[in-house]
Amino acid sequence: MAKAILLALLKVLMIIIFAGWIALWLLKPTNLWTRKWKAAEDGARHTVFGYYGLNFAVFTFPPIALTIIGLVYLDLVTKEPPRSRPARSATVGFSNPVVVNSFVGILSSLEILAVSLFFLFLAWTYYARISNDFKKLMPVKSLKLDLWQIKYLRVATRFGLLAEVCLALLLLPVLRGLAIFQLIGIQFEASVRYHILLGTSMIFFSTIHGASTLFIWGVSRHIQDEIWRWQKKGRIYLAGEIALVTGLVIWITSLPQIRRRRFEIFYYTHHLYIVFLIFFLFHAGDRHFYMVFSGVFLFGLDKLLRILQSRPQSCILSARIYLIPSKAIELTLPKDPGLKYTPTSVIYMKIPSISKFQWHPFSITSSSNIDDHTMSVVVKCNEGWTSSLYDMIQAELDSDTGAMNCIPVSIEGPYGPSSLDFLRHDSLLLIAGGAGITPFLSIIKEIASINSSRYRFATQVQLIYVVKKSQDVCLLNSVSSQLLNQSSTQLSLTIKVYVTQEESSNATVIGLVNNFSLARTVNFSTECSNYAVHGLDSSILMAAMVALSSIKFLVSLIFFNRIFVPTEMKSPASQKMAVPSENKASKEKTPSSVVDLLLLASFIVALACNTFVAIILRWKRLKKDIPAASPKQGNKATELVGSVEARSTVEEHEIHFGGRPDFQDILSKFPNETGGSDIGVLVCGPESMKESVASLCQLKSQGLNIGAKGKKPYFIFHSLNFTL
C-alpha cells in the first residue's frame, strides 16, 4: 500500500515538472516573459548563484529532475511483485496504429498528437517572435540594409531559434541507461526515429538560418567582412558557420543510403556531434545554451556510465557456427547469476580485436529465467564488422594450434522494457520475418519457463515465421525443446513457417529444424578475462549520480565565474554608485567566449568527479565478482550439434512453400483457434510486413469483426525491432 502511494506521488510530481517545463517553453517567446526574465536575471546577478545559476535552475534542471524521479519510479516498478493480467485500459487503443504509410511508417494516436503539438508549438514560437520583431525593427549598425533586407534577416534569425528548440530535445531519445522515454513504454530502438525527426528538422531550420544570413551579407556586399568574424561579444558568426557545416556532414552521412551501405562512415562522422555542440555554444552564447544543455548533460552522463559499465572486458565462452546457412553464428557470453533481463532486451557489443571503437547491437535470444550463468545472441554475418567476426572464428577453427584463443569483448546493457505488460494477453500472435525471429526466441523461452501460479502470461501462442529459404529455419534450433516438449510446460505453441522462394516439398517444421541445425560448436579460452556481465547499475544509484553531477556542475560554475568574472559579483549598492560608462566597459572586459568556456569547463569537472566516483563503486563491485567459468575452457576440440529426436509423432506445426502468408486470413482464424478475446499481435521484420499487419489491426480497431464467435476480439499491435 505504501509503495503504491509513493508511486502515485512520484507520477504526479513528474507530471507537474513536465507541465511546468512545457509552460516555460510556451511563455518564453512572449513580451511578458522577456520583461520578467530580464528583471529576474538582474536580481540574481549579484547573488552567489548569479544569472547562470538562475538559467540552470529554470531552463536546464527540470528535465534532469524528471530523469532523477523517473529512475526512482522505474526502480520501484521493476521491484513490484508479479501482477495478474491487467484489465484492458480505456486508453490502450491510443497506442494502436492509426496511420500506416510507407513514408511516415506506423503512427499511433499518441504519436500523431505529440508530433502535431510539437510542430504547433514551433509555429507559435515563430509567430510570437517574428511579430514582435516586425513591430520594432532596428537597423544593424555594421550593415547598411534596406527595409526588406532587415525583415528577411530577422526571419532568418528566428529560424535559428526553431533549430535551437529541436536541439533541446535531440539527444533525449538516444539515452540508454538514463532513458526517460522508458517512462512511457518506448524503448531505445523505437525512440531513435524521434531522434531522426528532430535531427532532420534541426538541420532544415539551421540551413535556412545560415543560408539566409549569408544571402543578406552577400546582397549588402559585407560577406567578406562578416563571414570570418569572431567577435568578443554577441553572436560569433564563424562558430555558427562551423557548427552548420558540421551538422550537415553528420546529417548527410546519416541518410539510409550511406548508413546501411557504409556503416563505418556513419558511425565515425556521427561523433562530430562534439564539435557541433562546442561551436553551437560559442555561436549562441551561454544563455541560449542553457535551453539545450539538459539533453547534453544527460547524454554526457549516460555515455560515461555506459563506458564504465563496459569495463572490464568479458570474453566469448563459445560460438556455434551453422554449417548450411550462410554465416550464421550463435555466441554465448558469461553473465552474473543475479543479472535479470526481460525478453526482447538488447546488448551492445564491441570486439577490440576487430575495431576499438565500433559498437553493434544484438537482440538477446536467451532467457535469464533459464540460463543463470550465460546469455546468447545470434549474429548474421553479412559484411563489414560481422563478416570480420565470422572470419576470426573460422580462422580459429581452421588453425593448427592446440587451444582456442580468448576473444575479449566489451558489453553494454542489457537494455529492455521495464514491464512485461506487452506479454499479458489472452493469446499472442507472433509474426517474424527473416532475422526478426530473434526477439521472439527469448519471448518463447520466457513464457515456457514461467510459473503459472505467479504470472498470468498468454499460454496460447502462434508464431508466423516468413523466410526466403528453408535453411533459415535453423534459427529455431534454440527453441527446439519448446517445440517438442510442450506437454511439460504451460506453453501451447504453434508454428507456421512460410518459405517464399522455394517450391513445395514434403518437409516438416521439425524436420527442417533437424536438417538445417548442423553446427560446429567451439569453446574458447577465458584466460584473458573471467569477468561476467553484470548489466546496468541500479536505477537508484544512477539517479543519485545524476543528482550529484548536477550539484558538482553548479558549484564548479559558481567557482569559475567568481574567479574569472569578478565584475558579475559586485553588490547592488556598488553597481548603483558606478558610472554607467564604467559598468559597460567592465562587462566588455570579459569576452562571451570566455563565459562559454567556463560553462564547458564546469561540465568537464562534473563529469571527471562523476567518473572518479563511478570507478570506485565499480571497483568495489568487481571485488565481489565470481569468476565466470566455461564448461570446456580453451578446448580446441569441436563438436557437431545436429538434430534433436522428436518425442511426439504428431506434427502440430505447418509449413507452406512458394508464397507469402495471407495475414487477413491468419488474423481472421486466430481468435477461433485460441479462444482469446484480448490478443497481442507482435511483429518484427521488414517494414513492409509491419505496415501490412498494422493496417489490418487498424481496421479491427475501427470496428471490423474478423470471425470470432461470441465476444468480439480486440487486437493490440506491438512493433518490435531486432538487431543482429
- pLDDT tens per residue, range 375-425: 899 888 777 788 888 888 888 777 766 556 788 899 988 888 877 777 777
Q: In the prediction, which pLDDT does 77 show?
A: 78
Decide: 469 and 499 in contact? Cβ < 8 Å.
yes
Q: Is pLDDT of 603 > 90? A: yes
Decide: 384 and 259 in contact? Cβ < 8 Å.
no
Q: Is pLDDT of 677 > 90? A: no
Q: Is pLDDT of 577 > 60? A: no
Q: pTM for this structure?
A: 0.86
Q: Is pLDDT of 492 > 50? A: yes
Q: Is pLDDT of 94 > 90? A: no
Report pLDDT digits (tens) over 508-547.
777 777 766 677 778 887 777 668 888 888 888 889 999 9
Q: Is pLDDT of 62 > 80? A: yes
Q: In the prediction, which pLDDT does 292 show?
A: 93
Report pLDDT digits (tens) over 544-559.
999 999 999 999 999 9
Residue 482: pLDDT band (50, 70, 90) is low
Give the dihedral sign, CA 256/181/427/113: negative
- Radius of gyration over every alpha carbon of the chain, rounded to an integer in angstroms: 29
Give the dihedral sign, CA 360/364/368/372: negative
Separation CA 491–CA 253 (nearest Å): 46
Terminal Cα-to-Cα distance of the chain (whole angstroms): 42
Residue 38 φ/ψ region, left for φ over 0, alpha for ψ in the -120 to 50 degree band, beta for the rest = alpha
Mode of pairing for the β-strands spanning 328-334 and 318-322: antiparallel
Residue 621: pLDDT band (50, 70, 90) is confident
Q: Which helix (H) or strand (E) holds 521?
A: strand 519-523
Q: Is pLDDT of 642 > 80? A: no
Q: In the prediction, which pLDDT does 246 show?
A: 96
Q: In the prediction, which pLDDT does 144 show?
A: 74
When mean pLDDT is compared across 160-174, 396-410, 417-431, 567-581, the lowest value belongs to 567-581
Q: In the prediction, which pLDDT does 712 show?
A: 61
Q: Which helix (H) or strand (E) holds 379?
A: strand 374-380
Separation CA 288–CA 56 (nearest Å): 11
Q: In the prediction, which pLDDT does 578 show?
A: 47
When mean pLDDT is compared across 93-107, 154-168, 428-442, the lowest value belongs to 93-107
Residue 710 φ/ψ region, left for φ over 0, alpha for ψ in the -120 to 50 degree band, beta for the rest = left
Average pLDDT on 602-607 reads 93
In whole numbers, what is the pLDDT of the chain averaged over residues? 80
Q: Is pLDDT of 631 > 50? A: no
Q: In the prediction, which pLDDT does 649 show?
A: 39
Report pLDDT digits (tens) over 196-253.
999 999 999 999 999 998 888 888 777 777 777 787 777 788 999 999 999 999 999 9
Residue 638: pLDDT band (50, 70, 90) is very low
Would you call 512 helix, strand, or coil by DSSP? helix
Q: In the prediction, which pLDDT does 366 show?
A: 87
Residues in the chain: 724
Would you call 495 helix, strand, or coil by DSSP? strand
Decide: 600 and 281 in contact? Cβ < 8 Å.
yes
State percent of the chain over pLDDT 90.
Answer: 22
Q: Is pLDDT of 560 > 80? A: yes
